[in-house]
Structure 1
Amino acid sequence: MKITQAESVHADGGYRTCSFLKLSTDEGLAGWSEYYDSFSGARIDPLIQDFARHAIGMDPRQFGRVSETLLATTRLAAGGLAQQAVAAIENACLDIAGKAAGLPVHTLLGGPLRDRVPVYWTHCGSYRVGPREPFYTGELGYPPIRKMDDLTAVAREAVTRGFRAVKTNPVFFDRDKPYFFSGGFRIAPGFLDRSITERQLAQIEEQMAAYREAVGPDIGLMLDVSFSQRTEGYLRMAHRLEHLDLAWLEVDINDPDALGFIRRNCRTPIASLESLHGIAEYRPFLQGQTVDTCIVDPMWNGVWQSARIAAFADAHETTFAPHNPVGELGTLMSLHLSAAVPNLRIMELRVDEAPWTRDYLTHPPEIEDGHMRVPERPGWGTEMNEEELRARPPRTR
């Protein structure tokens, strides 16, 4: 079997564009993967096509060989967008390999170790604030977020729907309209200095105390602050929130020594590393015992490569959680990975997606009592509804 063609397909995702890769073969089987195009403001479509030229003619069932071969060509400029482009190809190869063998992808990874995977509602309430608000309130008809109780109402809804854990981001209410914090990785006021004021710290503490009251003492509560701070700011935040018994504080920082210092000097569990690419980048962070939970993005690293990183984390007695902020197919990809790794903590799930994106899959994932059942169908466990995909082209933005 040989890869013959790589085609990127984009579709309307409401506030975003959904991006998929379709790999075709000379035996008629096609494999699909979901990826983030323009997540960092730069397109990876051209990179996917560049790497696909090397992959054409290779056997997709040898997904490890395909992945390692393509990554070897990036050694002088490893990681980053190049790794994300290779990951899209690797993940589509996994889908083909599973379909060709009549097996779900998790079996190719040695699993499943569990038949249900716990999930948490990510960006719970916070993503309904800011530039996405017109989509949520206008198109989907969600109630607007105007005060703290509106925000925590989403958390209460999550508990009612059976979720056992929620994650949010800082939302500030000191202007005419509430606004989402700056994560430190997109151009915005303060994104270069990455510092926090005492007033902002107090507002974050108030928000998380309100969330804790809304969900109760037995629900996992996480806060994600991305790259928004330097070492000192993260430590101040972790100390202020210790009394709220967070499941984790999610931070990003590129220095393993700094991250290890933060973890050793606070009682709040630390989750991090979602922005890393490849096992070599994870090595100093895991060897340095810098995190309680190692977060890995299977769209950016590839599901097979992510399973290798999860095993490395397991060897360092560290739990694993996939970074999975968008996409129904991406959720299935994370689900197969989560089913096959022994050190899984919990899986991320963005609930607030455009409802029609489920129609892009013949068998979208299903949530039941805060868990997702692991698919047993071959490949990712779904086919793509190409007619529906192509009938909903991306919006002009």
Structure 2
Amino acid sequence: MKVNSKIRSIETLAADAGFRNYYFVKITTEDGIVGWSEYDEGFGAPGVGTAIAKLSDRLIGQPVGDHERLYAELYSITRPAAGGVVALALGAIENALLDAKAKALGVPCYELLGGKIRDRIRVYWSHCATWRINHPSYFKPAITDLDGVKAIGREVREKGFTAMKTNIFIYDNDKKNPKGWRPGFGAPNYPERNVDRHVLRNLRMHLEAIREGAGPDVDLLLDLNFNASTEGYLKILRAIRDLDMFWVEIDSYNPEALGLIRRQSPHPISSCETLLGIRDFLPYFREQSMDVAIIDTPWNGVWQSMKIANLAEAHEVNVAPHNFYGHLCTMMNAHFAASVPNLRIMETDIDRLEWDHELFTHVPEFKDGHLIMPSRPGWGTEPVEEAIKAHPPKQATGGLASYGRKA
């Protein structure tokens, strides 16, 4: 059977993605089956490709269908340094193995996950206003004032999307020239992450503008990332208590602190997009720290992410995939979202680079604010190697050199 086809080679490829790079794993078997996955090095994780290369020799000659055994073996030999970049490398390898196995069987990846529960997946427009403010040379039209924020809110509604997520911005005295406020990521370099009245006024002004544009029937999500301490998050939640929020997304490496925030929050809390593996998620579930658990399936591996989702369901928590990469990651997340019973909603970026469609054989199909699941084998899309070569990566740093800067 082709599912027992042995792995001949494992490669990593990268392409220019504007303010960052896209990264891919390509697994080829002796029978010519090719499995793909997309991973990332720019979101605080330099060196994932190096870790993949170091682990690859262990996989050559192994049956491509044995993804659970191979993952367990790789985890075992890296156990002393489990987590971090090593975990991301394991997730990238697992996802490429799943694609290859599904193609060997001639089925979509969701069939490996127990079959799809839904044909259409509700999505929210992520980084709404954010990309056009932070990266105006890549995402048009650039947003330079509150009128631009209102306009993109209208655009969300007019294009049929039912939910959108934005971030924190600071405006000048004329309520123009917004800049992202991301001290949790060093932009500005403000490690104490205190939240003052100026931040609160600007955040509320930004949210009211995007709500005015979108109207009352589009769900509004806010991503606070790691940009405050517990005190700061509570100040923000009090400042926007009366606004209609679908959720407020908060990152914290302390489940007790997040649980305290959730119990005082007037809005649902989502979290955990940077956690890796069941062991990381378990204390957050025990603490009932969040209403929605966000799982990064490119980081964790889709098969391992299904286990995390099952654990979430046992704790009466719904899940949402973390997805702000290329089109292959979107489809990897879509197969996960189509298969888990306890799905809340799926993240996706609608603002795309002008050459994104060249890099992949198929792009996601959206209709009435939903992603339509394809039935093509594997993930349903593949990177185009000729296009990758035509858009070589700008840096070898994983994008960290430019993270947080306008482009």
Q: Aligning the two structures, in what range does the TM-score lie when normalised by the shorter sequence?
A: over 0.9
1:1-397 residue pairs with structure 2 within 5 A? 1-40=5-44, 42-130=46-134, 132-136=135-139, 142-174=140-172, 177-186=177-186, 188-190=188-190, 192-395=191-394
Shift of residue 73, structure 1, vs aligned partner = 2.0
2:181 is aligned with what amino acid?
F
Q: What is the rounded CA distance, in whole Å, between the counterparts of 2:51 and 2:77 in structure 1?
A: 12
- How much has 1:127 moved relative to structure 2? 1.9
Q: How far did residue 194 of structure 1 move?
A: 1.2
Q: Is the 8 A contact 1:239 1:268 kept in 2?
A: no
CA distance in structure 1 between the partners assigned to 2:306 and 2:185 by the alignment: 27
What secondary structure does 1:355 align onto? coil
The answer for unaligned runs of 5 or more in structure 1 is 137-141
Whether the aligned pair in 1 keeps the contact of 2:155 and 2:214 (CA below 8 Å) is: no
CA distance in structure 1 between the partners assigned to 2:104 and 2:186 by the alignment: 41
- Deviation, 1:361, is 1.9
Q: Given residue 103 of structure 2, which amino acid in structure 1 is its aligned partner?
A: K
Q: Deviations over 1:47-85 (max 9, x none)?
A: 010111222222221211222221222221111111111
Alpha-carbon shift at residue 41 of structure 1 (Å): 5.8
Query: 2:69 is aligned with what amino acid?
Result: R
1:324-368 superposed Cα distances (whole Å, 9 cap, x missing partner): 011100000000000000011111001122132222222221111
Do the aligned partners of 1:95 and 1:379 also contact (CA within 8 Å) in 2?
Answer: yes
Which residue number corresponds to residue 398 of structure 2? none
- Contact persistence 2:312–2:318 (CA under 8 A): yes
Q: What is the DSSP-based 3-state SS (H/G/I as helix, E as strand, rest coil) of the residue aligned with 1:55?
A: coil
Counterpart contact for 2:7–2:60, Cα < 8 Å: yes
Aligned to 1:139: none
Task: Map Cα deviations across residues 208-257 of structure 1 (whole Å, 9 max, x no partner).
Answer: 12222222222110110100111111111112212112000001011100
Unaligned runs of 5+ residues in structure 2 are 396-401, 403-407
Is the contact made by 2:247 and 2:270 (CA closer than 8 Å) also made in structure 1?
yes
For the Cα contact (< 8 Å) 1:250–1:270, is it kept in 2?
A: yes
Q: TM-score, normalised by structure 2?
A: 0.92
Please give the alpha-carbon distance, in whole angstroms, between the structure 2 residues aligned to 1:220 and 1:61.
41
Segment of structure 1 superposing worse, 155-164 or 336-345 = 155-164
Poorly superposed stretches of 4+, deviation over 6 Å = none
Following the alignment from structure 1 to structure 2, what is the Cα–Cα distance between the partners of residues 316 and 168?
A: 28
Structure 1 range deviating more: 37-46 or 89-98 = 37-46
| Deviation, structure 1 residue 394 | 1.9
RMSD: 1.5
Instruction: State which drifts further: 330-339 or 372-381.
Output: 372-381
Q: Percent identity?
A: 42
With the length of structure 1 as denominator, give the TM-score of the two structures.
0.95
CA distance in 2: counterparts of 1:152 and 1:41, whole angstroms: 34
